[in-house]
Structure 1
Amino acid sequence: MDYEIDKMLSSDWKQVSKIYLEGINTGKATFQTEVPTFEDWNNGHVKTCRLVARLGNDVLGWGALSKASSRCVYKGVAEVSIYIGQNHRGKGIGRNLLKSLIELSEENGFWTLQSGIIRENISSIKLHEKCGFREIGRREKVAKIENGDWHDVVFMERRSTVIGID
């Protein structure tokens, strides 16, 4: 498949939000229950670190960073969001997208990337491992969803080898 990794544009939101909803509907990609408005999503994510996998006019997947904290000592730490359209999973798009997001994060001064992944989302955990993330802990039964089921979250992080090292 001859797709490209490209900067996410605001005009991509319709397709990005559709992929996000597909992730929500899996019940293991996020604890979100509905897609936010573009304005809310836009305000919660780093403007310079948003990518899509694009084939022609079609968005196949997306990745973005959000600040881990507003405290200045954590200015180089960000949380990863990555979603691949349901018809494009398992084709290496997530790995290429996440690797590109890592490079972009380093260009923008981020020294640590972190992810909180629902324990049942094995494919996401494996993807992060392939891209240099390591498990740093688990929060057991930290989230109780609407049907009453409890879920664990696996915390993973990746420290840059090119920025923030002394």
Structure 2
Amino acid sequence: MRLRPPRLTDGMEITAVHAEGLATGHASFRAEPITWVEFDDAYSIALVAEDHGAVMGWAALSATSPRDTYAGVGEVSTYVGAQAARRGVGRALLSRLVTDSETQGWWTLVAQIFPENPGSLALHRACGFEVLGTRTRLGRMTHGPLAGQWRDVVMMERRSRRAGLD
């Protein structure tokens, strides 16, 4: 497995991995998988995990706010394809994303995870994220088998021990 920056030619595979996550109903409020253009525009830092030329997963970081006060605070997204589940792909991606973010001066990373996604919760804990609390009935699903249901979201945060200390 190799971690590297995403390329335009990865777009279809990035979308496919995202679609697999969305199909579970426990990955995002989004109804449609991300397109390459959306992906490329949305994230300040992004990585893909590649094995034998195929994208197995991706992790990315976007700013939580355009305000200068929050420069260095970002939200992470991590998706791993079903064929790569439980092979350490998510941990490799998120660990590297954390390291890269600190190198670039990001001091706080946040993740919003459905409580029904224990794998993602465990992954983030393993990478140094702590639970801040649960946002009850944060949003209502608009699609899929859970359409119309209010969903809780677990808020997790990771504070850098290197960046943002000055």
> Is TM-score (shorter-chain normalized) higher than 0.5?
yes
Distance 2:103 2:74 in 1: 13
| Deviations, residues 88-141 of structure 1 (Å, cap 9, x unaligned) | 111111011100000111111101110011111111001000000000121101
Distance 2:134 2:162 in 1: 27
Question: Residue type of the partner of 2:32?
Answer: E
Unaligned runs of 5+ in 2: none
Q: Does 1:135 align with 2:131?
A: yes
Percent identical pairs in the alignment equals 39
Residues paired across the two proteins, number: 162
Question: Residue type of the partner of 2:129?
Answer: F
Distance 1:22 1:96 in 2: 19
CA RMSD of aligned residues (A): 1.0
Unaligned runs of 5+ in 1: none
Distance 2:94 2:8 in 1: 20
Deviation, 1:164, is 0.7
Q: Which residue of 2 aligns with 1:91?
A: 87
Deviation, 1:40, is 2.5
Q: Which residue of 2 aligns with 1:19?
A: 17
Q: Which residue of 1 aligns with 2:150?
A: 150
Q: Which TM-score applies when normalising by structure 2? A: 0.94
| Deviations, residues 48-103 of structure 1 (Å, cap 9, x unaligned) | x1101111210010001111100001110110000000111111110111000001
- Kindly report which structure 2 residues correspond to 1:25-64, keeping only aligned pairs within 5 A, or say none: 25-46=23-44, 49-64=45-60
